[in-house]
C-alpha cells in the first residue's frame, strides 16, 4: 500500500511499549493511525505527544470485545508481555490473546485488511533447539504459570493461520524476541528495566538462578523496523518470521554491563529461578535477512546507553560518571 494519509492503520496495544513506538513510526511515514488500548499495561504517557497529531486517534477499548472500525491494516499487539503483568490475571491474559485474535481477525475478514500478529519467542518455551528457527515446534508447559501467555500466543497463531487457510485473510505473524528500550514500564519486571532501575537507585541487582541463562536483546527501533517491513512485504508469505537480535548474552553479563554503564555501586544478589523460565534464547533470523532484508543494527552498548538515559530522566537523575564504552 502507498504511504499516504488515506491508509488507515489500527494498532492494538498502541499505548504500550512497542505499540507507542510503532504508532510514532507509522505517523512519521504518513499513515492515519487508530491506537486502541485498555491501559492495563499501556500508559497514556507513552502517546501523549501524539495526541495533537490530526492523523492520530486514541480509543480506550478492550480487544476481548468486538471493535467496529474501517481500516486497511491491523497490527495486533494487545497483550501484557511481562511475567509480572500477564501472571497478575492469567485468565484475562489468555482471553486477550485468544478472544482478541478472534475479534481482530474478524475485523480483518470484514474489511479486507492485512493483519499482523505480534507473537513471541515464548511460543518456543524452554527450547531444545538452539538457536530457534521458525520450523521448531517448541517445548512448552501447557499448565504452568507462564502458560497463559505462552499457550495464549500459540493459540493466537493457530487462529491466524486457520483464518488465512479458511477465509483467505491476509496475515503476517512475527515472533518477537526480547526487546528493550525507552518506554518500558519501570515496574514491569523485565530484566533490562529491572537492572537499570535497580542500578540507578543503588539497589541490589537481582539475578534469578546463577545468571548463566542467556537472552538475545533487540533494541526497540530495530524491532519496529522489522514489523513494518514484514507488514509491507508481499513475498514473505504469512510467516511466522523471527524478529530479534541474534547476539546472545548471559544475564550475568547484562548485569555487569548495566552496573558499569550506570556507575552504580549495586551488588548482585541471586534468587531462585522462576518456574519454566527458559535457559537459552536466541533467534535464527536467516528468514528475516533473506526475505525482508532485515537485521538489527543497534548494538547492545548503544541501546543500553539510550535506555539508561531514558530511565535517568524518569527518575529525575543526571549522570555523574562518564559511561564506559563496551563493544557488545
pLDDT tens for each residue of 132-142? 999 999 999 99
Q: What is the DSSP string of 121-152?
A: GGGGBS-SSSSBPTT---B--TTSTTHHHHHH
Q: Is 246 helix (H, G, I), strand (E, B) or coil?
A: coil
How far apart are the C-alpha atoms of 196 and 257, rounded to whole Å? Answer: 10
**Residue predicted with more confidence, 132 or 318:** 132
Number of Cα atoms under 13 Å in the Cβ half of residue 143: 0
Rounded Cα distance, 6 and 4, in Å: 5
pLDDT of residue 327 exceeding 80, the answer is no
* pLDDT value, residue 197: 94
Q: Which residue has the higher pLDDT, 80 or 13?
A: 13
What residue has cell string 530479534? 244
Three cell numbers at 302? 548503544
- Active-site annotation holder among 75, 86, 124, 149: 149
Residue 230, H or E segment: helix 220-232
328 pLDDT exceeds 80? no
- Asked if the model's pLDDT at residue 5 lies above 80, the reply is no
Q: What integer pLDDT is reported at residue 85 of this predicted model? A: 74
Listed residue (309, 86, 298) closest to 196, CA to CA = 309
pLDDT digits (tens, 9 = 90+) for 69-102: 999 999 999 988 767 777 788 899 999 999 999 9
**What is the average per-residue pLDDT within 19-28?**
98
pLDDT at position 235 is 83
Q: Contact at 8 Å (CB) between 269 and 205?
A: yes
CA atoms of 293 and 326, how far apart (whole Å): 27
pLDDT tens digits for range 188-204: 888 999 999 999 999 99
pTM of the model: 0.91
Give CA–CA dist 139/278, Å, rounded: 10
Quickly state the pLDDT bin for 319 (edges 50, 70, 90). low
Angstrom distance (rounded) from CA 211 to CA 250: 6
- What CA–CA distance (Å, rounded) separates 33 from 101? 19
User: What integer pLDDT is reported at residue 82 of this predicted model?
Assistant: 67
Q: Where are the domains of the chain?
A: 8-180+219-243
247-286 pLDDT, tens digit each: 999 999 999 999 999 999 999 999 898 787 788 889 999 9
Q: What is the 3-state secondary structure (H, E, C) of 225-262?
A: HHHHHHHHCCCCCCCCEEECCCCCEEHHHHHHHHHHHH
Residue 6: what are its φ and ψ, rounded to 5°? Answer: -80, -10
Helix H or strand E encompassing 116: strand 114-120
- Which fold would CATH assign to domain 8-180+219-243? Rossmann fold (3.40.50)
Q: Does residue 291 register a pLDDT over 70?
A: yes
Inform me whether the pLDDT recorded for 153 exceeds 50.
Answer: yes
Number of DSSP helices (H) and strands (E) in the chain, helices first: 9, 13
pLDDT at position 7:
94
Told to judge if 55 belongs to the known catalytic residues of this protein, a careful annotator would answer no
164-194 pLDDT, tens digit per residue, is: 999 999 999 999 999 999 999 888 888 999 9
Amino acid at each position: 500500500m502507498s504511504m499516504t494519509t488515506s491508509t488507515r492503520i489500527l494498532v492494538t496495544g498502541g499505548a504500550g511499549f512497542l505499540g507507542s513506538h510503532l504508532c510514532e513510526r507509522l505517523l512519521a511515514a504518513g499513515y492515519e493511525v487508530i491506537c486502541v488500548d485498555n491501559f492495563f499495561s499501556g500508559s497514556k504517557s507513552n502517546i501523549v505527544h501524539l495526541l495533537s497529531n490530526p492523523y492520530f486517534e486514541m480509543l480506550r477499548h478492550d480487544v476481548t470485545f468486538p471493535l467496529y472500525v474501517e481500516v486497511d491494516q491491523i497490527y495486533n499487539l494487545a497483550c501484557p508481555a511481562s511475567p509480572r503483568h500477564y501472571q497478575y490475571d492469567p485468565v484475562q491474559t489468555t482471553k486477550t490473546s485468544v478472544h482478541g485474535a478472534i475479534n481482530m481477525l474478524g475485523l480483518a475478514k470484514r474489511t479486507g485488511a492485512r493483519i499482523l500478529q505480534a507473537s513471541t519467542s515464548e511460543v518456543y518455551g524452554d527450547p531444545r533447539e538452539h538457536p530457534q528457527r521458525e520450523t521448531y515446534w517448541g517445548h512448552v508447559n501447557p499448565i504452568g504459570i507462564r502458560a497463559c501467555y505462552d499457550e495464549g500466543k500459540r493459540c493466537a497463531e493457530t487462529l491466524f493461520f486457520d483464518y488465512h487457510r479458511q477465509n483467505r485473510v491476509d496475515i503476517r505473524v512475527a515472533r518477537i524476541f526480547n526487546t528493550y528500550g525507552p518506554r518500558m514500564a519501570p515496574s514491569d519486571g523485565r530484566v533490562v528495566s529491572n537492572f537499570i532501575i535497580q542500578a540507578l537507585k543503588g539497589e541490589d541487582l537481582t539475578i534469578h538462578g546463577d545468571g548463566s541463562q542467556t537472552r538475545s536483546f533487540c533494541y526497540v527501533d530495530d524491532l519496529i523496523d522489522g514489523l513494518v517491513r514484514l507488514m509491507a512485504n508481499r513475498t514473505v508469505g504469512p510467516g511466522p518470521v523471527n524478529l530479534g537480535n541474534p547476539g546472545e548474552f548471559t544475564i550475568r553479563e547484562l548485569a555487569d554491563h548495566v552496573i558499569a554503564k550506570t556507575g552504580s555501586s549495586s551488588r548482585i544478589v541471586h534468587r531462585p529461578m522462576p518456574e519454566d523460565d527458559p535457559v537459552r534464547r536466541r533467534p535464527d533470523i536467516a528468514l528475516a535477512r533473506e526475505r525482508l532484508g532485515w537485521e538489527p543494527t543497534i548494538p547492545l552498548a548503544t541501546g543500553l546507553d539510550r535506555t539508561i538515559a531514558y530511565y535517568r530522566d524518569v527518575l529525575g537523575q543526571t549522570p555523574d560518571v562518564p559511561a564506559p564504552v563496551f563493544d557488545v
